[in-house]
Structure 1
């Protein structure tokens, strides 16, 4: 049985799922962390962890964030775009798509540092009517956003903000938040996430 948590169907998704599966097993082994302990720390069910490690699940970005935080890592560690040497080059074919919207939108994790104090660089594309919701990141997490095309509506807690093309924003995202395209054109934005380890 394959558990679908995110909307993805292509070969890139399979490659990402294989990398996530292998990396979580590796890091859990290195940290001598049982499935029960990881489940308790992350709030992710043991059954879901078994499915992820068995490469039978397609975990959402929010779920990967919870697992990374619980393990003192970054999502970039899981998908192998975390820079460890002085310089790490990441080819276009190595950049994973970690979310696909129902209308063709996408979220690509371009690069990131290794956790627990991590910084990630994302590129998002939202088509009209698409929304991505996040339950919130660990306390103190901040995001820097720059809209290259279209208009992005950012909701943090119960307040919404409109960010037009060419404009930027800084947001504390340790509360529930969402990125929405309520306009008529494509919204393209770059986002940097900064999260301090526990």
Structure 2
């Protein structure tokens, strides 16, 4: 199995080559520096969640298309086998479960928020929806100007083209599944 850094680099380079973009053009559409993009493609840099979202949004591809290898028709995903993409000093951990599939138009992640985590998510394209299903602890989401608190068994759906944050205000780990739907 390839390291996550190498997989991200290969996926990014493949998308860039298919589109015929130079690194300068890729930097222009994503807002990420040419140097950082080159480091990511070579597998020399481990990009943050926000950097990956900037790249995905700029290229208009799913987040998971940048981090996952393709799989067979039957997939069993085990959390302990997944390597997280981290952010906020590793307090925010995203485990890619099922990458974007154009025929299904969604992707699924498991997210763990360690105590004290506060993560601002990148806005997505118009029409993109997020579905969050809480599995443990308490996760506080702010969508636009409204704040919602989710505990195990709770869920929320929202238009993701607005500012949204994920926060763990407790002393325990909180977790949730996140399904992102692309119309």
TM norm structure 1 = 0.79
Shift of 1:90: 5.0
Corresponding position: 1:17 with 2:5: yes
RMSD value, Cα: 2.6
Instruction: Give yes or no for contact 2:129–2:157 (8 Å, CA) kept in 1.
Output: yes
Consecutive unaligned residues of structure 1, counting only runs of 5 or more, are 1-11
For 2:96 and 2:145, the matched residues in 1 are separated by: 27
Number of residue pairs matched by the alignment: 182
Q: How does 1:23-38 map to 2 (within 5 A)?
A: 23-38=11-26
State the partner residue of 2:29. Answer: 41
1:69 corresponds, among 38, 54, 57, to 57
TM-score (norm 2): 0.85
How far apart are residue 71 of structure 1 and its match? 2.8
1:88 to partner: Cα distance: 4.3
Whether the 8 Å contact between 2:68 and 2:99 is mirrored in structure 1 is no
**Residue 58 of structure 1: SS of its match in structure 2?**
coil
User: C-alpha deviations, 1:179-198, integer Å up to 9, x for none?
Assistant: 101123221111101124xx
Q: Deviations over 1:94-134 (max 9, x none)?
A: 63411255476522011122359841111112122112221
Q: Which runs of 5+ in 2 are unaligned?
A: none
Structure-2 separation of matches of 1:168 and 1:124? 14
- Equivalence for 2:154: 167
